[in-house]
Amino acid sequence: MSSLFDSLYYIIPFIFLLGVLVFVHEFGHFIIARMCGVRVTDFSIGFGRKLWGFTDKYQTNWKICAIPLGGYCQFLGDANGASAGDDENVLDSLSEEDKKHAFSLQNPWKKLAIVLGGPGFNYLFAIVVLAFVFMFIGNIVYPPVVGGIIPGGAADKAGILPNDRIIEVNGRKISEFSDISSEIALSASGYADIVLKRGDETIKLNIKLTNISVEDGKPVSERPMLGIKSKSTVEVGERKLSFFKAFALAGKEAWRMSVDTLRGVGQMIRGSRGTEDIGGIIRIAEMTGDISKTHSWIDFVGFMAMLSINLGLINLFPIPVLDGGHVVIFLLEIISGREMHEKVKEVLFKCGFAFLLALMLLATWNDFVHLFKRWFV
């Protein structure tokens, strides 16, 4: 029975989290489509057999389906929920009035706005959630607590352990994790004086820093670093921010998360970082459950905001089938002044689907390897 309740900590929060983020994303497509005069025939959370649904006065079929691993917003005239092609039979059967509301018959500017609506709403949702937390609860900070150790790095050699809390670097008080790297960067001698808390014990260390490859918007270079990773947990500061400061800080956090994600992807492409960090649905479910079991609701909200930003950003990657692939196609159509041939789009979408399938297989393999190491190693 305990294992059943334990599994519920992972299943229920994960389904809730994914459902919210998918709804936000698809609602972005939906509301922009409505504003552009495009008719939405289906709005689905999940895939497969319909569990529940209704049809509104605009003839949109709202539904929740059995497989809660995504969703789609299908427009009038589309062959499928990914808008990856047109259904010629449906288009031919439409009246002249209905053709005004078919997605594929809109000008490319409207199409561009509609596909950007999904990622845009993911960003907007994350910013609003973070801003409300900053206004009514307090500013979220990532505490200077060690979440992981880079093997062979300075911290590893010095005996620093996960969950150690860094309280001083070179005599300067540390309040959040980003302060650590800022102070380490000023250590011209190649050594750093570290004061940390381990339980009730205060430990002082003089550590020789090691060079670690980093990328900071420039070519990869080596820099003396401590060699630690932050935890996924957040803490709430005492300061509640004003409306404008809260939204400004939320926007700054969204930008930082986006830059960090792009930096990691760039490192993988260059080969300076392994692909084992690519995780999928299983990894997300695991992290959601861990946060739900051992952390506060603030951590859950922060994690949800981060995932919303990642979902929006990844969907903007220029891969056919994803929103970013559609963006590239519509921009090319705007520049060229003519619509891309349907056969060309079909080939692009097939290639994009194959690439995404390979990426999903890699992510799933990484997830299983990670779980195996967690349970048995």
The residues annotated as belonging to the active site are 26
Angstrom distance (rounded) from CA 349 to CA 339: 16
Residue 315: closest CA among 40, 101, 24: 24
Angle at 78 between CA 76 and CA 81, to 5 degrees: 105
Q: How many CB atoms lie within 10 A of CB 28?
A: 25
Angstrom distance (rounded) from CA 205 to CA 60: 64
Angstrom distance (rounded) from CA 233 to CA 317: 28
Q: At what angle do helices 297-315 and 281-294 cross, to 10 degrees?
A: 160
Report residue 105: phi and psi, to 5°.
Answer: -95, 5
Residue bearing tokens 């709005």: 43
Angstrom distance (rounded) from CA 235 to CA 299: 8
Token pair, residue 97, equals 């009035």
Question: Quick one: how many helices (H) and strands (E) in the chain?
Answer: 11, 12
In DSSP terms, 202 is beta-bridged to 197
Residue 321: closest CA among 280, 357, 275: 357
In DSSP terms, 47 is beta-bridged to 67
Beta strand spans in the chain (E): 40-55, 61-75, 140-141, 146-149, 165-169, 172-173, 191-198, 201-208, 210-214, 221-225, 228-230, 235-236
CB-CB contact of 4 with 26 (8 Å): no
Torsion-angle region of 70 (φ positive above 0: left; ψ -120 to 50: alpha; else: beta): left
